[in-house]
Amino acid sequence: MSSKTFSTIAIVSALFLFVSSGFAYMGHGKHAQGRYHWDPDAIVTVSGEVIKVETTTMRCCGSNYHGVHLYLKTKDGELEVHLGPKEFVNEEITIKKGDQLTVKGSKTEYNDTSVIFAATVTKDGKKVTLRNDDGIPVWAGKGKHHMRNR
């Protein structure tokens, strides 16, 4: 193989990897870049009692994705909170009905419902970080989001 052919193959391969990894990271929604439904201008902190914890299942990327959601009773009413993948959240914190939590995250509309995408959850003085200040999930790139029941 000539050096010119090898160089061409190397360049094309590098471009393919660069473009495909960019698409994998982009995400969707209003702010893209992997920050699903994240609005940095809508950060709120709320406290209240957990009235329901559920794991929802949705089909994504050829497998099932199991996400942990909870409903928090606050002084202003009930709020739905999206935490993250069951496999990641359950390793970091145990949340059950009746727990008192403080949640910081981005409050936005999702499926016609007001929802908080949690960045941090604090329970009994223990603070767990789920997303960074840019809304990027801390499990991204760690393989946690690929640990799905099929």
Question: Cα-atom radius of gyration of the chain, to the nearest Å?
Answer: 19
Please check whether residue 55 is in contact with residue 47, taking contact to mean a CB–CB distance below 8 angstroms.
no
pLDDT score recorded for residue 56: 86
pLDDT band at 66 (very low <50, low <70, confident <90, very high): confident
Q: Which two tokens stand for residue 39?
A: 């609005």
The size of the chain, in residues, is 150
Model's pTM, two decimal places?
A: 0.69
> What gap in Å lies between CA 123 and CA 6, rounded to an integer?
56
Q: Is pLDDT at 54 greater than 90 in this prediction?
A: yes
Dihedral sign for Cα atoms in the order 67, 73, 74, 76? positive
Least trusted range by pLDDT, from 34-38, 102-106, 121-125: 34-38
Q: Is pLDDT at 137 greater than 80 in this prediction?
A: yes
Share of the chain above pLDDT 70, in %: 67
pLDDT band at 51 (very low <50, low <70, confident <90, very high): very high
